[in-house]
Amino acid sequence: MPERKPLVAANWKMNKTVAETESYLGALSGHASQLGGVEVVVCPPSTALAGACAVAAGSGIQICAQNVHESESGAFTGEVSIAMLAELGVAGAIVGHSERRRLFGETDEALARKVPALLDAGMLAILCCGESEAERDSGETEAVLRRQLEADLEQVAVGDLGRVVIAYEPIWAIGTGRTATPEQAQEACAFIRELVAGIAADAAEALRVLYGGSVKRDNAAELFALRDVDGGLVGGASLDPDDFLAICRAA
Ligand code: PEP
């Protein structure tokens, strides 16, 4: 069975200027040598990516974007391509975050192109999925995860599937202070791994499945210890470098 290196990613959303990003990463880089057992990823806003890459260089901390466009170039006002990110030293991107799906119309069709395009470029694809509160209440959680992941992973080569990072993010737990119980998180993350096992058993063993949704320094260890949880995607609590460091140490 392959060893899965835990991964903890900070999703800053639309927070922090270039100066704030550089000061945060300067502080976090000073502790990076204590985080050897964890893959640490920070996802600042796009304006701060270049500065973040420069400050984090050589520290082992990876910088990822919060979104990327699936096309190589063209008439897509406001968008950024994979090659543009790679030029800065960006290691990958979060795709399919529920805020982008809900507020900005990111579709499964676009995600089905984004995920393989990132993998083809040798980059990290952190694919988010998760159900709304109404969907959970009506017993549709597994159907929603199946629908999203079957669509979003459809064009990923079987040999690349194990490199995808899937973040299970129940929408009702994002930014609400309500965390999934360990049972709910384990059940959903195990279901995601089983879905992938249905395509390729070895990929399912290699695949990192993260939990996201109000992860904090005082609940991270319990969540990250779950059998099918290989780390976390952290929003609000990642804005403070001490909190984020404590969460990374819990992985
Ligand atoms: C997120 O936005 O991906 C997230 C998990 O946010 P929070 O940790 O604030 O719930």
* Ligand 1 contact via 231 beta carbon (within 6 Å): no
Mean pLDDT of the chain: 97
Q: Amino acid identity, residue 213?
A: G
Over 70: is that where the pLDDT of 1 sits?
no
Share of the chain above pLDDT 90, in %: 97
Question: How many whole angstroms from 140 Cα to the centroid of ligand 1?
Answer: 22
Helix, strand, coil distribution of the chain in percent, nearest 5: 45, 15, 40
Any alpha helices (H) in 174-240, and if so which ranges? Answer: 182-197, 201-206, 220-224
Number of H helices, E strands in the chain: 11, 8
What local confidence, expressed as pLDDT, does residue 3 receive?
82
Provide the pLDDT for residue 34: 87
86 exposed, middle or buried (CB, 10 Å; 0-12, 13-18, 19+)?
A: middle
Distance of CA 222 from the midpoint of ligand 1 (Å): 17
Secondary structure of residue 104 in the 3-state scheme: helix
Distance 175 CA to ligand 1 centre (A): 5
Q: What is the pLDDT of residues 188-218, one digit of tens each?
A: 999 999 999 999 999 999 999 999 999 999 9
On the question of pLDDT at 36 being above 90, the answer is: no
Enumerate the active-site residues.
97, 169
Q: What is the pLDDT of residue 2?
A: 61
- The per-residue pLDDT for range 52-61, each reduced to its tens digit, is 999 999 999 9
Q: What is the pLDDT of residues 111-153, one digit of tens each?
A: 999 999 999 999 999 999 999 999 999 999 999 999 999 999 9
Q: Which of 176, 233, 240 to mutate to test the pocket of ligand 1 (most atoms within 8 A of CB)?
A: 233
Better-scored residue on pLDDT, 77 or 33: 77
Mean pLDDT, rounded, for 223-229: 98
